[in-house]
């Protein structure tokens, strides 16, 4: 699961990387220019060097990132309507923001998750429900 902070970090990294690559390609005297334009072949099949992924000219880095975000298979992707807009509650104090996201994502400290994380043996709720999930705490 990707957190909102991580998503914004990805946006910033992509923008910086794209700008750095574009600038490096234009200026021959930069030391990185030779490394990027005449790079050695990848040694491992899993290696995905940044210079192999040339950004499309007609799209900005942000547009490209939005396309990638919308095309990715991310858990709870529906929680983020627009990856460029701050989600509701982003301005809350840290502990409230964290609790809100625990309930939004279903990844908080409920009995079902604690069993999944091997912290307790019984997933039942004190109200005698068979399984105490984050959804159960909020909705039932």
Q: Given the rule CB under 5 A, which residues bind Zn ion?
A: 125, 127, 129
CB of 129 to Zn ion, least distance (A): 4
Largest interatomic CA distance in the chain: 71
- Torsions phi, psi for 50 (to 5 deg): -65, -30
Q: What is the 3-state secondary structure (H, E, C) of 87-139?
A: CCCCCCCHHHHHHHHHHHHCCCCCHHHHHHCCCCCCCCCCCCCCCCCHHHHHH
Using alpha carbons only, how large is the chain's radius of gyration in Å? 22
CB of 136 to Zn ion, least distance (A): 5
Nearest-CB residue for Zn ion:
125
CB of 97 to Zn ion, least distance (A): 25
CB of 89 to Zn ion, least distance (A): 25
State which residue, 79 or 125, has the beta carbon closest to Zn ion. Answer: 125
State which residue, 85 or 127, has the beta carbon closest to Zn ion. Answer: 127
State which residue, 18 or 132, has the beta carbon closest to Zn ion. Answer: 132
């Amino acid at each position: 699961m990707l957190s909102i902070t991580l998503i914004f970090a990805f946006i910033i990294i992509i923008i910086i990387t794209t700008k750095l690559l574009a600038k490096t390609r234009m200026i021959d005297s930069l030391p990185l220019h030779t490394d990027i334009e005449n790079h050695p072949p990848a040694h491992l099949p899993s290696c995905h060097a940044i210079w192999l992924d040339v950004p499309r000219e007609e799209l900005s880095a942000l547009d490209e990132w939005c396309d990638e975000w919308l095309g990715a298979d991310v858990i709870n992707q529906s929680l983020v309507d627009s990856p460029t807009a701050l989600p509701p509650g982003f301005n809350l104090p840290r502990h409230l923001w964290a609790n809100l996201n625990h309930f939004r994502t279903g990844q908080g400290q409920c009995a079902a998750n604690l069993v999944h994380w091997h912290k307790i043996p019984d997933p039942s709720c004190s109200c005698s429900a068979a399984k105490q999930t984050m959804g159960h705490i909020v909705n039932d």
